[in-house]
Structure 1
Amino acid sequence: MSVTIAVEDLRARLSGDRPPVVLDVRWALGDPHGRDHYAEGHVPGAVYVDLDAELAAPPGGASGRHPLPDVAELQSAARRWGVGEGRSVVVYDDLGNTAAARAWWLLRYAGIGEVTLLDGALGAWRTAGLPLESGFPADPAPGDVVLRYGGLPVTDADGAAELASAGLLLDARAGERYRGEVEPVDPRAGHIPGAVSAPTGENLAADGAFLPADVLRRRFEEKGAAGGKRIGVYCGSGVTAAHQIAALEIAGFSATLFPGSWSAWSADPARPAAKGSRP
């Protein structure tokens, strides 16, 4: 199954007999106004999804800032969005899909077979000159999807530590956070010992689309992803790490998510923290 869908393909499918459910996951760290941004302009028919409230459980200590939601809660939300059994889903944001990838990963983890990211995100839709809808449309007809967790691999802090020593653990945060030079939101600065820096932003071209598969493959091979090595990914709170997993899949690799990520690891004083540019 493809990770992404092109703008022209989405436009054609929206005009078809069975259009996909389109989800607008407008979110950015430090910006609580995603709903307002959605109202200013979104893909026609897209449903707004609140990442903090609908794609995560309440934050807390060892669970991190964006714990995975209870599957029953996610199922209720997905039905509100209009997701039905056998219906495809397209997700996007306005930030290169670095937030929307959370929905992409989570819905696949919950068993939805066809979930894709709008390649280039909302910027690609705008660049194509396609219309935007403003305001808040009427709620879609409720869906009947049944969700079950387990469709993708996950790990905990112990598993992440094991991957860092016996496999490949990628840190998807910005380089300055990996090196421990700054830490704007989590309890401690630094990174999981043994993890390799691989900032999520480096998966994207200047227009916000994913880099070509061969370029991404070389990028991850240079990070150590070769020879069937097991790969894990974490970030600050399990959001942009999902984008890294999407990029890895485009490149031909599978990877495990550490949902608690650095926010959970750094909240445990017994867990060591490394600083600097070396794993």
Structure 2
Amino acid sequence: MRPLIGAAAAAELQGSVRLDVRWTLGGPSREADYAAGHLPGAVRLDFDRDVCGPVGPVGGRHPLPEPEALQAVLRSAGIDDDSHVLVYDDGDGMAAARTWWTLRWAGIENVQVLEGGFKAWTGAGLPLETEAVQPKPGTATVRPGHLPMLDAEGAAEWAATRELVDVRAPERYRGEMEPVDPVAGHVPGAINLFLGEDDLSDPDRLRERYAAHPEAAYYCGSGVGAARTALAVTAAGLPTPPVYIGSWSDWVSRGRDVATSVPPAAGEER
């Protein structure tokens, strides 16, 4: 199943569980936006509270939830093991991609992200509703480990032996600025491939971009942008890559070594 689906095709699907995960980094809950209008039948999930786990001293800003907690969320949303799940956010794909990744990691196979998100749906003139949805409880069983994931030790080993890719902006990678986390820099040995505004709907361009990194694992600030990169790689028809899900915020919370110099290009002396 292609991980992305357009608004027109999504509107034709019957029986999908629709998840509204609209989210703003560091901003207020988007409950008001859900109440003002959402896809018909969509269940609201709070990205920080429901899709991610609670923030602790280590683990990063968006850790994975405990399996039992995630299972309770999925069941309350009406999800069964064989449900088709349609996830959408505003349109940048960040929260939707991390939700897609989390559900796939948890063993829910039939998950797609609405291409272009809520904006694409409304732009196509498709209907909305304002009533809160209370679905019949589902029976999903969370079975962790269905997508490749790295922890800090795994990320350090990957950077030393293969290719660990930092998808944050170059100035954050170089340690010149850090607007969110308390320490600037990057994982030693990691290279930088800025996520930017990748158009997820162009698989040929995505394949050209990511096929050059067949053994790469990806990280970002807190595992959201890296999950979007994993979605992009998958949408290009390539194997879903490993994600360091704690990412930079987890790395620095553990007091790991930090690099700011840029690794030399292939063929250059170190």
Give the TM-score of the pair, scaled to structure 1.
0.88
Structure 2 residue runs without a partner (length 5+): 266-270
Distance in structure 2 (CA, Å) of the matches to 1:265 and 1:187:
11
Matched, 1:268 2:254: yes
Contact 2:41 2:133 survives alignment (8 Å): no
Question: Offset of 1:253 from its aligned partner?
Answer: 3.5
- Partner residue of 1:207? none
Question: Offset of 1:73 from its aligned partner?
Answer: 0.5
Matched, 1:240 2:225: yes
Aligned AA (2:242): T
Matched, 1:2 2:2: yes
Partner secondary structure for residue 253 of structure 2: coil
- Within 5 Å, give how 1:175-190 maps onto structure 2: 175-190=170-185
Instruction: From 159, 163, 188, give the equivalent of 1:164.
Output: 159
Distance in structure 2 (CA, Å) of the matches to 1:29 and 1:107:
20
Tell me the matched-pair count.
Answer: 264
Contact 2:147 2:240 survives alignment (8 Å): no
Distance in structure 2 (CA, Å) of the matches to 1:242 and 1:5:
17
Matched, 1:259 2:238: no
Partner secondary structure for residue 58 of structure 1: coil
Can you list the C-alpha shifts for 1:103-147, whole angstroms capped at 9, x where unaligned? 10011111011001011111111111112223x414111111111
Partner secondary structure for residue 113 of structure 2: strand
- Partner residue of 1:98? 94
Question: Offset of 1:275 from its aligned partner?
Answer: 4.7
Aligned AA (1:238): G
Instruction: From 216, 219, 223, give the equivalent of 2:206.
Output: 216
Aligned AA (1:225): H
Structure 1 residue runs without a partner (length 5+): 205-209
- Within 5 Å, give how 1:24-103 maps onto structure 2: 24-103=20-99
Distance in structure 2 (CA, Å) of the matches to 1:266 and 1:274:
13
TM-aligned CA distance change 1:195 to 1:214, over 3 Å: same
Contact 1:84 1:145 survives alignment (8 Å): yes
Following TM superposition, the consecutive aligned residue runs of length 4 or more in structure 1 with deviations greater than 4 angstroms are 275-279
Distance in structure 2 (CA, Å) of the matches to 1:268 and 1:47:
35
- Within 5 Å, give how 1:72-151 maps onto structure 2: 72-134=68-130, 136-151=131-146
Distance in structure 1 (CA, Å) of the matches to 2:245 and 2:180:
16
Aligned AA (1:234): Y
Instruction: From 181, 184, 195, give the equivalent of 1:200.
Output: 195
Distance in structure 2 (CA, Å) of the matches to 1:277 and 1:95:
34
Q: Which moved more, 1:87-96 or 1:250-259?
A: 250-259
Contact 2:48 2:62 survives alignment (8 Å): yes
Can you list the C-alpha shifts for 1:70-125, whole angstroms capped at 9, x where unaligned? 11100000011111231110101004211111110011111011001011111111
Question: Offset of 1:45 from its aligned partner?
Answer: 1.2
Question: Offset of 1:278 from its aligned partner?
Answer: 6.5
- Partner residue of 2:11? 11
Aligned AA (1:151): H
- Partner residue of 2:268? none
Question: Offset of 1:64 from its aligned partner?
Answer: 1.0
Question: Offset of 1:234 from its aligned partner?
Answer: 0.9
Identity %: 44
Distance in structure 2 (CA, Å) of the matches to 1:277 and 1:196:
7
Contact 1:266 1:273 survives alignment (8 Å): no
Contact 1:234 1:262 survives alignment (8 Å): yes
Contact 1:84 1:144 survives alignment (8 Å): yes
Aligned AA (1:241): A
Aligned AA (1:154): M
Question: Offset of 1:189 from its aligned partner?
Answer: 0.7
Distance in structure 1 (CA, Å) of the matches to 2:152 and 2:260:
15
Taking only aligned residues, the RMSD between alpha carbons, in angstroms, comes to 1.8
